[in-house]
Structure 1
Amino acid sequence: MTSKVFVVGVGMTKFEKPETRDWQYWDMAKEAGTAALADAGIPYDLVEQVPVGYCYQASTAGQRAVYELGLSGVPVYNVNNNCATGSTALMMARQFVAGGLNDCVLALGFEKMTKGALGAGSSGGDFATSPVARHYGVMAAKHGFEMTPPTAQIFGNAAREHMERYGTTAEQLAGVGAKNHGHSANNPNAQFQDVYTVEEILAARTIHAPLTKLQCSPTSDGAAAAVVVSERFVREHGLEDRAVEIVGQAMTTDTGESFSSGSCIDVVGKPMSRAAAHAVYEESGLGIEDVDVIELHDCFSINELLTYEALGMCGEGESGKLIGDGATTYGGRWVVNPSGGLISKGHPLGATGLAQAAELVWQLRGEAGPRQVEGARVGLAHNIGLGGAAVVTLLRRPAG
């Protein structure tokens, strides 16, 4: 892709516990989409295509949601890529623009979920027919299968392996939760804004050891959106002060490496994340040393540590030390999940990847208020879904 692509408007709803607010998915989509268009200062009539991400709603729910923004008849694409759905919609929008098909695309993601833990897949169902049955089979062969929430179980077993292999401690895992809950205290859009100590997180109810409730992302309702445009569109509409460039983006899916080791560390997506990050660094000419702020997929605390290693922030097995040294919070080398991350901001599957992009756009524009990362110029988003897909996006605020 040679054409430059920019995000010029972002928006999101507050992420909330399911059934907190009396709204439908199209209501939340309208709120996020309208906010993104207002942020860009453009009308919906200029939008040429709309990829819409969600996992729990019925087919063509994307159209039903978009109709709340306007009835212009433009193409609407319904996207479902498990927890990486929102970033997949964003990637489609970028491809439409970079490929010269469109000058203005709206990427939209939403989810109206139900209370309780996620099941075998994004839509539940039995394991025999689940798209992730192979992944859980790898886990069961090594660790057995217990009567705990399956997603917490597979990530919890990845945490056990990391602890056994590298000496990672329960305190380091809890430190991820303490950091992200602390960050969310400054985010009015976060589902939770409570601050916890490491000791309080360790004392919380165990979901699947070593993971406690405060180290696990909740089910959430919410929506997010981004207006993605060409360089020509930026120039013609005078949007230079709003524009943040997508300088690299890649999606990877499972390869043989995900399953060959029999390790939950690999089967939950670390090889995918590493490959996507490498592709983005190659495309952009930038590396992790150039990044200031990161929004990554901390569905469980262990996945934040695994992602540090996959992104090249540290060596294999050294991620726990980054937490202990304060390297991934304010005053450290990077600020990771200033929004509160999935653990505290919330995790409405279809919206998560776009909410990450929204946070980074605000950070790179200097509009993040009390959670602003000082001097942030380059941001990285990482969004992953079992089954599997990993999307890494690198954004940069143009100089001047």
Structure 2
Amino acid sequence: MTDRRKLIALGLALAVDMLGSGLLLPVSLLYFTEVSGLGLSTVGPLLSLGALVSLPVPLLVGHVADRTRPLSRILAAQLLQGAAYAAYVLVSGPGTLLAVAIVAAVGQRLFWSSFFSVVAGLAEPGEDGRRADRRFALAGMIQMGATGVGTLIGGLAVAYSWYQAVVYLNAASFLLSAALLLLVPRGALPSPAPATGGGYRLMLRDRPYLLLIAVNTIYALCSIFIGVAVPVYLIDGLSAPAWIVGPLLAANTVLLATGQRLAVRLVRPLSRARALVLAGLLWVVWALVYAAAAGVPGWALIPCLLAGMLFYAGADLIHAPISNALSSAAAPPAQRGRYLAVYQYTFAFANILAPTFFTALYSTGPAVPWLALAVVAAAASALMWTLHTPMSAREKVPA
């Protein structure tokens, strides 16, 4: 199967997966409160606990990643998630809810700990190394586009209380995604990694890659800050009209779903490390503009917010594909699966950190979280600048 056909099959599987996941986003909490009769104060903590229990999954995946096929792991992840969401109908109390939440969270972490290894594995011998940027951009566009469409349909389902139908459709989407993945050849088992001193000990001595993980944790914090902080800040901190929140977030989703390949093409003259420095600086400007919004007159507020969002979108359009391509290129070829599995902790840590980061600083002043975010994004950009030489050297090594 050619690279293009493999990418099409993989893209369809991802689109179906993300469409189903987007459908569930507006419904996930409401299903348990409206259909299963559980209280919100019970549902929220149990779903969070399920996510915490799944945190070791990337480490476990990394332990076997370079001895197993990533596509096989993704198939297992889709079956786990399909079974978990099909079992929603069995939830009748806290115990069954926690069990379902754990299985779903484990399946989700297994998927994302393996998916980018599959994308990286689509590379053809001797191809231009930056071609991977376009593949990661296309995967990101599919992810955002399908999730956005699913979320819109899910919002409609909430309006008509179609909770049960959404859950069944989400479960079916994972099974259909698994069936589509069967069209992608699994390939040969990875060659055993050479004896280099042992597994994670080698990674812990790889200071440039550990620094890349640390920097990307900050970048991931910037990326997800929009969903955590913007709605509260606009409505509570700025007294902006409530209608502006939806269009701002929707516009960003549209840009991410359509613009990543263009962004990759525009930053092609830069090394990947330098491109990520640019992304970090754009996030710095975004955070400063949003901090300054607290002091602008009312007539200038919406133009200020829209202008700031352009800087955010530019940063995210660059970061989403380039960071994944760099993490793949910077990993030792014989241990790429392990490295990419652990790299996914950057997003897990950022998701854990973001709510506390925002709420703790917001209590001292509405603009304070944005100023703090600008500082940490600037520090991350400076660290990424120092990674230019070691990362560029690794990208020149044949995979």
Interval containing the TM-score (normalised by the shorter chain): under 0.3
Whichever structure has more helix as a proportion of its residues is 2
Q: Indicate the structure (1 or 2) with the bigger Cα radius of gyration.
A: 2
Q: TM-score, normalised by structure 2?
A: 0.26
Whichever structure has more strand as a proportion of its residues is 1
